[in-house]
Structure 1
Amino acid sequence: MTTAVRCETTTLGGEDLDRLRELAAQLRVDSVRASTAAGSGHPSSSLSAADLLAVLVARHLRYDWENPDSPLNDHLIFSKGHASPLLYSVFKAVGVISDEDLMNGYRRFGNWLQGHPTPMLPWVDVATGSLGQGLPVGVGVALAAQRLDRLPLQVWVLCGDSEMAEGSMWEAIDKAGYYRCAT
Structure 2
Amino acid sequence: MGRTPLAGTEQRHSVQELEDLAFELRQKLLHLCGTYEGAVHIGGDLSAADIFTALFHYGLNVDPSDIANPERDRFVLSKGHAAVCMYIAMAMRGFFSYEGIVQTYGQLDSAYGMHPCKVQLPGVECSTGSLGHGLPLAVGMALSARHRGDDHRVVCLLGDGETGEGSVWEAVMAARSNRLGNLVAFVDRNRQLMTSFAEERVSFEPYPDKWRAFGWNVVEIDGHDMSQLVAAIDALPDTDSDTPTVVIAETVKGKGVDFMERNLAWHAGSLGAEDLERALAALAASREKETV
1:32 shift after superposition:
2.3
1:155 shift after superposition:
0.6
Residue in 1 that maps onto 2:74: 75
1:34 shift after superposition:
2.1
Q: Distance in 2 between matches of 1:33 and 1:157?
A: 27
Contact 2:95 2:123 in 1 (8 A): no
Name the CA shift for 1:59/1:91 in 2 (closer, same or farther; >3 Å): closer
Two-structure CA RMSD over aligned residues (Å): 1.3
Q: Distance in 1 between matches of 2:128 and 2:33?
A: 18
Residue in 1 that maps onto 2:123: 123
- 1:86-143: per-residue Cα shift (whole Å, max 9, x none)? 1111121012222321211111122110000001211112110000000000011001
* 1:31 is aligned to 2:29: yes
Q: Which structure's CA Rg is the greater one?
A: 2
**Which residue identity does 1:137 align to in structure 2?**
L
Q: Distance in 2 between matches of 1:142 and 1:33?
A: 36
Residue in 1 that maps onto 2:171: 172
Q: Distance in 2 between matches of 1:110 and 1:168?
A: 30
Contact 2:92 2:98 in 1 (8 A): no
Task: State how many pairs are aligned.
Answer: 168
Contact 1:30 1:85 in 2 (8 A): no
**Which residue identity does 2:133 align to in structure 1?**
Q
- Note the 1:29-178 alignment, pairs <5 A: 29-39=27-37, 40-119=39-118, 120-146=120-146, 148-178=147-177
Give the ranges of 4+ consecutive aligned residues of structure 1 lying more than 3 Å apart after TM superposition. none
Alignment gaps of 5+ in structure 2: 1-12, 185-292
Sequence identity (%): 34
Contact 1:35 1:85 in 2 (8 A): no
Q: TM-score, normalised by structure 1?
A: 0.87
Contact 2:116 2:124 in 1 (8 A): yes
Secondary structure at 2:75's aligned position in 1? strand
Contact 1:80 1:129 in 2 (8 A): yes
Contact 1:141 1:155 in 2 (8 A): yes
**Which residue identity does 2:70 align to in structure 1?**
P
Secondary structure at 2:156's aligned position in 1? strand
Between 104-113 and 165-174, the greater mean CA deviation after superposition: 104-113
Alignment gaps of 5+ in structure 1: 1-14
Q: Distance in 2 between matches of 1:61 and 1:99?
A: 20
- Bigger strand share: 2
1:70 shift after superposition:
1.1
Q: TM-score, normalised by structure 2?
A: 0.55
Between 163-172 and 25-34, the greater mean CA deviation after superposition: 25-34
Q: Distance in 2 between matches of 1:31 and 1:106?
A: 12
Secondary structure at 2:27's aligned position in 1? helix
- Note the 1:1-20 alignment, pairs <5 A: 16-20=14-18
- Bigger helix share: 1
Q: Distance in 1 between matches of 2:154 and 2:34?
A: 31
Between 134-143 and 55-64, the greater mean CA deviation after superposition: 55-64
Q: Distance in 1 between matches of 2:40 and 2:16?
A: 29
- 1:22-63: per-residue Cα shift (whole Å, max 9, x none)? 111112122222233222221111111111121112221000
